[in-house]
Structure 1
Amino acid sequence: MEPLTLTEAVGAEFAPETTYLNTSTCGLLPRRGVEAVKAAAELNATGSPDGGNSFDAVTAARASFARLVEVPGERVALGSAVAVHVGLIAASLPPGSEVLCAEGDFASVINPFVVRGDLKVRYVPLEALAGSVRPETALVAFSAVQSADGRVADLAAVRAAAAAHGARTLVDATQAAGWLPFDAGSFDYTVTGGYKYLMAPRGASFLTVTEEAQESLTPFHAGWIAGEDIWDSTYGPVAELARSARRFDEPPPFLPYVGAEQSLALLEEIGVENVRAHTTALAARFREGLVSLGHEPVPADSVVVATPGLAHRLDALTEADIVVSVRAGKLRASFHLYNTAADVDRALDVLAG
């Protein structure tokens, strides 16, 4: 099958009624995902035997995500939220372990370690992360792309520093997967919320775990689907846990995964490299326009553009049906495959007054 062009994909799947520059808050659902969720909900509502038990969609979403982040499907666990995945990792650390985090990173990457109370959580600037790993560091936990301002971590440098000191790595790819080509297998753990650049419904999230790191995790929220044979595991205790990362699954909320299956398939059809080329060009156009207006965005080679001093313009943009957000005191615009140069120029026109 020939890859879809972006124009073909957008025309077939998206019809936004606003100038939507806010994927870092929530991605738009493609039409095929909306229709699939509607159909599944109708089956559930009418008492169909196929309603509410879409394991086929769950399996397909797992496999599709695995291909997008370049790992075997056996290394992917599913859940409902990034914080749950991070909590599982936090619960498995020995007391007193040092966790190194980036200052100002997203709360879901940090809070599960902090609330334990018996871990040593240390914070450094994102740019200093690799140089701050030390022999006593057990885990480096950070986002590939910062939610607040779009800065991209030096993934290779952090990975190398962690390996040199025997530390494990946890990368939150929520603001990266879907537009930034990402090799999840290079890190011990990755976590990804599906409802942003993967354009899935809220309630679908993904955890990847290397085979070695799986040995250090306890499947604390194991339900019947964590069994190697799920239909022989409906009544406990489980005879045998899944031999893959599926033993770390939360019981899946089926409807979000019905939608996720469709969204991930669309991304595979288009290709992440094509999405990256399109979206980074739009972000660069927006940055250049902001500079021409006298504003200095946070430096970042990213689809997320955060600009100090413009938070007060949120209302004007909203009144013009342009959807952006304010994070950490900065105006944040974020671009995805359904955006165009006209969207960029419209936002710049409003900001120009």
Structure 2
Amino acid sequence: METFESLVRAEFTPKTTFLNTASNALLPARTVAALDRAARLRAEGGALDPLYADVEACRAAYARLAGVPVERVAAGASVALFTSLVAASLPPGAEVLTAEDDFTSVLNPFHARGDLKVRAVPLEQIAEAVRPGTALVAVSAAQSADGRIADLDALREAARQHGARTYVDFSQAAGWLPVDGDAFDYSVTITFKWLLGPHGAAFLVVPKDFGDLMPVQAGWVAGERPWESCYGPVADLARSARRFDSSPALFTYAGLRASLTLVEEIGIDTVRAHDLALADRFRAGLAELGHEPVPSPGSPIVSVPGLGRLQPELAEKGIAVSDRAGNLRASFHLYNTAADVDRLLDALSG
């Protein structure tokens, strides 16, 4: 039986100290191989049925990860696309509660409507800010900029008490933080970060009754029998969340299927323990150097105020991190090691 170490080392061969999963993940070797097979299939003129099967396999894998029936998972291309779908479901004048400086894809479609009341509060206050008349609370489970984790239990309870719907973005969490798709009205994630996939895929979990969503973006893939919905209006929408699908980037899903298989093989709990241990090692090292990161306990994303200016210098040394709003952001995932953490700390100490 393969150990965590042997499995990970067989899949990843980074040529840099890559501490930037919060931007995008490294691709596993099996994913690269799957992408190559998909490209060769197109180049050789083979039938694309296996690639469409990959889409459904990915949908089922994410349903397992989120703990919901596969019929409640829609497949699309981006968080912004699905946020737009949620935004379109709201009546004029509805109040949307958001966290200050959350990621744009979670926010902008509500602002773009022009006829919604969008209210932003500090992340730590979002649960207590839900009030009578709040129609929807939209928030990231983990903040992109600094890794802070929303109190989702408190948010869910506050929304329930006031009759508000909830929309949670797990893009910076799915893959290391357990996802409870039943806990919220709608939840979404992209897959090119902690789920190790290529760019171009996203999943939306909807209620069994679809909530207030209308399939305003429905194309041929949203039909109950897609290949019979290619011309004219879609007469028979899918009787599942597939009615909210957008036409899939087939190569992406071919690779993603392999990535999700690896995530399932290793297990979210194992990944989480590994990632958080490295983040805590980095926090401890920062304290010894006299630096204080943005408080983000229990998160593999660590953001250090004032050090973002060092990102180009670190890149020259082969250390990949991000500069976010002047902060140095390091993020740790299963392919990272204690030696990676120590190399970054050594570079910062110099």
Normalising by structure 2, what TM-score?
A: 0.98
Q: Is the 8 A contact 2:95 2:134 kept in 1?
A: yes
Which residue is equivalent to 1:18? 16
Give the Cα separation in 2 of the matches to 1:5 and 1:258.
26
Which residue is equivalent to 1:239? 235
Which residue is equivalent to 1:210? 207
Give the Cα separation in 1 of the matches to 2:312 and 2:257.
36
Which residue is equivalent to 1:114? 111
Which residue is equivalent to 1:304? 301
1:320 shift after superposition? 1.1
Identical columns (%): 59
Give the Cα separation in 1 of the matches to 2:48 and 2:122.
50
Deviation readout 1:196-246 (Å, 9 max, x if unpaired): 11111100111111124x141111111111111222222232231111101
The alignment status of 1:47 with 2:45, answered yes or no, reads: yes
Give the 3-state SS of the residue equivalent to 1:115 in structure 2.
helix
Partner AA of 1:303 in structure 2: P
Which residue is equivalent to 1:181? 178
Give the Cα separation in 2 of the matches to 1:8 and 1:32.
14
Which of 279, 283, 286 is the matching residue for 1:287? 283
Give the Cα separation in 1 of the matches to 2:173 and 2:120.
22
The alignment status of 1:171 with 2:168, answered yes or no, reads: yes
Give the Cα separation in 2 of the matches to 1:328 and 1:189.
29
1:312 shift after superposition? 2.1
Which residue is equivalent to 1:94? 91
Give the Cα separation in 2 of the matches to 1:108 and 1:5.
37
Give the number of equivalent residue pairs.
349
Which residue is equivalent to 2:127? 130
Larger mean CA deviation between 117-126 and 64-73 belongs to 64-73
Which residue is equivalent to 1:261? 257
Structure 1: which 5+ runs fail to align?
none
Please tell me the root mean square deviation across aligned C-alpha atoms, in Å: 1.1
Normalising by structure 1, what TM-score?
A: 0.97
Partner AA of 1:34 in structure 2: V
The alignment status of 1:162 with 2:159, answered yes or no, reads: yes
Q: Is the 8 A contact 1:100 1:139 kept in 2?
A: yes
Structure 2: which 5+ runs fail to align?
none
Give the 3-state SS of the residue equivalent to 2:330 in structure 1.
strand
Deviation readout 1:149-206 (Å, 9 max, x if unpaired): 0000000000000000000000000000001112121100111011111111100111
Which of 206, 209, 224 is the matching residue for 1:228? 224
Partner AA of 2:217 in structure 1: H
Which residue is equivalent to 1:76? 73
Q: Is the 8 A contact 1:5 1:270 kept in 2?
A: no
Q: Is the 8 A contact 2:308 2:325 kept in 1?
A: no
Which of 313, 316, 325 is the matching residue for 1:328? 325
Give the 3-state SS of the residue equivalent to 1:54 in structure 2.
helix
1:334 shift after superposition? 0.1
Give the Cα separation in 2 of the matches to 1:6 and 1:296.
31
Q: Is the 8 A contact 2:309 2:326 kept in 1?
A: no
Which residue is equivalent to 1:66? 63
1:72 shift after superposition? 1.1
Moved over 4 A (4+): none
Partner AA of 2:117 in structure 1: K
Give the 3-state SS of the residue equivalent to 2:113 in structure 1.
coil
Q: Is the 8 A contact 1:179 1:276 kept in 2?
A: yes
Partner AA of 1:12 in structure 2: A
Give the Cα separation in 1 of the matches to 2:111 and 2:211.
23
Larger mean CA deviation between 223-232 and 67-76 belongs to 223-232
Partner AA of 1:248 in structure 2: F
Which residue is equivalent to 2:191? 194
